[in-house]
Chain A
Amino acid sequence: MMIEALLAVTLVGALVTFVAPNRIAGKLAFGISLIPAALSLWMFTAFDGSGNALLDGELAFESQFEWIQLGDYTISWLVGLDGISLPLVVLTTVLTSLAIMSSWTPIDERESQFYGLVLFIEANLIGVFTALDFFVWFIFWEAVLIPMYLLIGVWGGPRRKYAAIKFFVYTNVASLLMFGAFITLVFGLGDVTSFALPEIATAMLEGGPDGFAGLGGSALASVVFVAMFLGFAVKVPVVPFHTWLPDAHVEAPTPASVLLAGVLLKMGTYALLRFNFTMFPEQVEAYAIPIAAIAVISVIYGAMLALAQTDLKRIVAYSSVSSMGYVILGLVAYTQFGVGGATFQMVSHGLISGLMFMAVGVIYNATHTRMVTDMSGMADRMPVAVGILVAGAFGYMGLPLMSGFFGEFAIFFGAFGSGLLAYSQLFTSLAMFGIVIVAGYLLFALQRTVFGPYHLETDYDVGRAPLHDVAPMFVLLGIIIALGVAPELIFDMITDAVDPILENGGDA
């Protein structure tokens, strides 16, 4: 029942915060958020699972009971953790706490509602990463939309309404597509009588679907695979379904951006890994080349877009698109290092992009502008914050001894030698060029904003950032370096959960 406890604490916390007076809401929410963080860290230490959650592995903190009987089909509350989901849960809880602290400065209206929503998001994210029944998982998956819509809409920037509705509708349509596809698959699977993912995965790997409405089994599998891939592609996002992301990122308030980039984007890749890349090994093999092509395009194209931006948040937003491309590449490589590295990269990118958004936010709090052209020489006025920004930027460039490097290296290494993906060497080498472009645009941005003689278009006097703005970034930086120096901390449990996937295809 640990997971239920985790969810309950967060949800109740959200309610309490929602009705709390604005003055104390921030501190209160932070205090509350420490509980799930502590819980999840404890779970991290007490983790005793092994294998993959969907492929009859040993789940940690599993609990299950029937919920709804839909005709012959059972919908049951089924939650549990394996080596893939646990790091993401920890990432969620920790990042939320830090995001809350980092929003003490920027959020100065309707605080209680704001922090309540943030905690509500946290709860749903935890649910997404722990739920193992399709409907339960989908509830959490969709429930994220409401708070995110409001966070962007209420506390966002000038074009917040447009960005919010775009995010809301776009991602929801994708979810519907994915839902329909998956349900079709379930009905196509003859003997399955529940929506529990493990059962479905097993059925998929043992024989696959019988067919549906005149569609043959393998044809159905392919259709569903493609439809679900498209559905998740929006959430990830990969080119060309990415356009909601920059708008959402730019308009969202800093902490929302932190969660958006840090965790929400990982929902998409996580789902891809859980569904497409676990249940459809044959389709993965069949569609490896197009997927890899999409991945490479996302990397290069996203990086090029970032190069053209002058808004710091937009730069980071597009670079997220680029980074997610790496993750897709790692997944489609279908090797231990590829998939494991991709999962690691999810966590790593969550930390680093979170750090970047926080740093940008701190600068914004002081200058009230994010335009590269509006400022220069910030390092002169806020050395510490800028120092961390620079560190984060180098982390983003995949500097060794920071988590980003291991993620990327593992992906590249895994992809390069992939036996499943044809021309993998070519794809990998192309994707790797991203590390040059990323250095390009980040260094350009740094040179123009934080270095050079001090100058600011907006008339605010910039001073050093308060401690509670900088502290979260230090924590993140610490984690990033720790994971960079000793990736084994989580890579072992990840690979342990990844291996069963690869036994059904690919060649680890």
Chain B
Amino acid sequence: MNVPIEYFVLLSMALFSIGLFGILTRRNALMFLMSVEIMVNAANINLIAFALYHGNLTGQVFALFVMALAAAEVAIGLGIILVLYRNFRDVDVTVPTTMRW
């Protein structure tokens, strides 16, 4: 059985929107990070689905790259969140506002 491509796109878009919503609402840095991950994965779904649709592997390969990079990004992110906590005693992203205007 093969599912029409539109469904995958809709799914990924939904996922993407969820992630976006998370970014806009969550104040905890970690949740922020996770929301980003959700958005990236939405992209991954697209890639893989389209790879199937187009019948070439480029998408799938690239999806792997994306995951790896996402991991690296998280690594850096966690490091920054660490120092953030060390400096502000909090992981709320809305706390650091010493620089504005």
Direct contact of A and B (CB under 8 A): no
The chain B residues found within 8 Å of chain A, CB to CB, are none
A residues contacting B by CB (< 8 A) are none
